Amino acid sequence: MEKLLEVKNLEVSFQTYGGEVQAVRGVSFHLNKGETLAIVGESGSGKSVTSQTIMRLIPTPPGKIKSGQIIFNGEDLVKKTDKEMEQIRGKEIGMIFQDPMTSLNPTMKVGHQIMEVLIKHQKMSKSAAKERAIELLRLVGIPMPEKRVNQYPHEFSGGMRQRAMIAVALASNPKLLIADEPTTALDVTIQAQILELMKDLQKKTGTSIIFITHDLGVVANVADRVAVMYAGKIVEMGTVDEIFYDPRHPYTWGLLASMPSLDSDDQTELAAIPGSPPDLTNPPKGDAFAPRNPYAMKIDFEMEPPMFKVSDTHYAATWLLHPDAPKVEPPEAVKKRLRKLSSNYEKPVVVKESE
């Protein structure tokens, strides 16, 4: 598998009146060509900041990339100037945002907003760009694209707008598509359609996708691998099967337990994780999840857990994987779905810092 993107030890902070908000605190992950990685986590866990940092879209100041590398196509995006990034944004990396109602310019024709990308990156003429915009609208499933291309966003429904946004993001055949909660603002039926469309387009174009969501339910549908984020860190990462059938981090357990599942009719309580995420101006010493973690041990409040490797693809940062940790049972809702995965190592292995 060829790596398209590799984020190494990324740290991003915002300077605010209340102090320095450490939104992303050492995130590392990679993305292979043609693969879909889902990033899940509660609100404020740093998903958007991480993805917008890849595009270098965070406002600086107050934002600042404190350390780390973002290797995209062999080049470090952190080192690029704003001018150089213009050749990456929209061309190599496309982005879809959460709210299709506000993400399109209300006073510009939808077609024109697609054409802008084509004219800028593909150096197309106006008329060629318009032809292509119509084609793209058709591709994303908008009926009567010849007419729609001349309409304004307010003449589109929410789902149609998100389709148009996808057309904008894919106009230049980017190698990477970042979708930041693309379906959160939409009705459930429309959500499913948009997800279907994205999968379909990925098959056709071979784009890699980073799919951000706080809804684990949609993840199983779209992703190959999943990264679970909490308080600016990735706490667990693995293939979809590993995360769903063999989760190791108590936070992932919490997320899974609070996910309504289709296969179980019994109305076991949807246990939302009690408590709230820590204040990232003063991240706690030790494991940031410890105060909300029913399985927390003394060491969780003292020292941050290292990354443990459970299989070639499965990582989790929890002291529970330490050889000396007591054996604990995950919550009932999670236990029901556990499966033995053959790819697992005999024993979890600590990942060295330098790796």
Partner 1 sequence: MLRYISKRLLYILMTLFLIVTVTFFLMRAAPGGPFSSEKQVPPEIEKNLNEFYGLDRPWYNQYFDYLVSIAKWDFGPSFKYKGQTVNDLINEGFPVSFFLGMESLLLAISIGVLLGIIAALNHNKWQDYTAMVLAVLGISVPSFIMASILQYFLAIKLGLFPVARWESLQHTVLPALALAATPMAFIARLTRSSMLEVLSNDYIRTAKAKGLSRGQITVKHAVRNALLPVVTYLGPLSAQILTGSFVIEKIFGIPGLGSHFVTSISNRDYTTIMGVTVFYSILLLVAVLLVDIAYGFIDPRIKLAGGKKGE
Ligand X SMILES: Nc1ncnc2c1ncn2[C@@H]1O[C@H](COP(=O)(O)OP(=O)(O)OP(=O)(O)O)[C@@H](O)[C@H]1O
Out of 4, 49, 88, 171, the only residue in the binding site for ligand X (CB under 6 A) is 49
Structure tokens at 258: 């609070």
We find the least distance from the C-beta atom of residue 48 to Mg ion, in angstroms, to be 3
Q: Which span (14-22, 170-178, 263-271, 319-327) binds ligand X, by CB under 6 A?
A: 14-22
Task: State the Cα–Cα distance between residues 22 and 231, nearest whole angstrom.
Answer: 9
The residue among 48 and 252 lying less far from Mg ion, judged by its C-beta, is 48
Q: How far is CA 228 from CA 29, 75, 151, 239, in A?
A: 11, 26, 39, 11
Ordered strands of the 93-96 beta sheet: 93-96, 176-180, 208-213, 36-40, 225-230, 233-239, 315-316, 308-309, 349-350
296 binds, among ligand X, Mg ion, partner 1, none (CB under 5 to 8 A by kind): none
In three-state secondary structure terms, 198 is: helix
280 binds ligand X (CB under 6 A): yes
Q: Closest CB to ligand X among 116 and 279? A: 279
Nearer residue to partner 1 within complex by CB, 28 or 103 = 103
- In single-letter form, the type of residue at position 266 comes to D
Residues 317/236, Cβ–Cβ less than 8 Å = yes
- Please state the closest distance from residue 97 (CB atom) to partner 1, in A: 6
- The four Cα atoms 140, 145, 151, 156 give a dihedral, to 10 degrees, of -40
Beta bridge partners of 35: none
Name the site residues for partner 1 (rule: CB under 8 A).
55, 57, 82-83, 85-91, 94-95, 97, 99, 102-108, 113, 116-117, 120-121, 152, 154, 165, 168-169
Number of residues in contact with Mg ion under rule CB under 5 A:
1
Distances (CA, A) of 131 to 92, 204, 340: 21, 20, 52
Site track 48-77 with Mg ion (rule: CB under 5 A), x = hit: x-----------------------------
Shortest separation between residue 14's beta carbon and ligand X, angstroms:
3
Toward Mg ion, which CB reaches closer, 99 or 116? 99
- Find the binder of ligand X among 14, 29, 230, 253 (CB under 6 A): 14
R_g of the chain, CA atoms, integer Å: 21
Minimum gap (Å) between residue 90 Cβ and partner 1: 3
| Min dist. Cβ of residue 128 to ligand X (A) | 37
- The H or E element that residue 67 is part of is strand 63-72
**In b/e form, how buried is each residue of 327-349, taking b as 16+ CB within 10 angstroms?**
eeebbebbeeeeeeeeebeeebe
Rounded to 5 degrees, what are φ and ψ at 95? Answer: -135, 140
Residue 96 beta carbon to Mg ion: minimum distance, rounded to whole angstroms: 12
- In whole angstroms, how close is the CB of 265 to partner 1 at the nearest point? 40
Which of 22/293 has CB closer to ligand X?
22
Q: What span, in angstroms and rounded, lies between the C-alpha atoms of 320 and 308? A: 10
**DSSP designation for 280:** T
Q: Which residues, 6+ apart, have CB-to-CB distance to 124 below 8 Å?
A: 115, 118, 132
Closest C-alpha to 232, from 8, 16, 37, 48: 48
Contact call for residue 47 and ligand X (CB under 6 A): yes
Closer by beta carbon to ligand X, 98 or else 113? 98
- State the binding string over 200-239 for ligand X (x if CB under 6 A, else -): --------------x-------------------------
Give the shortest CB-96-to-ligand X separation in angstroms: 14
Q: How far is the CB of 162 from ligand X (least distance, A)?
A: 16
Nearer to ligand X, 48 or 191 (CB): 48
Number of amino acids touching ligand X (CB under 6 A): 17
Given the rule CB under 6 A, which residues bind ligand X? Answer: 14, 16, 21, 23, 41, 43-49, 59, 62-63, 214, 280
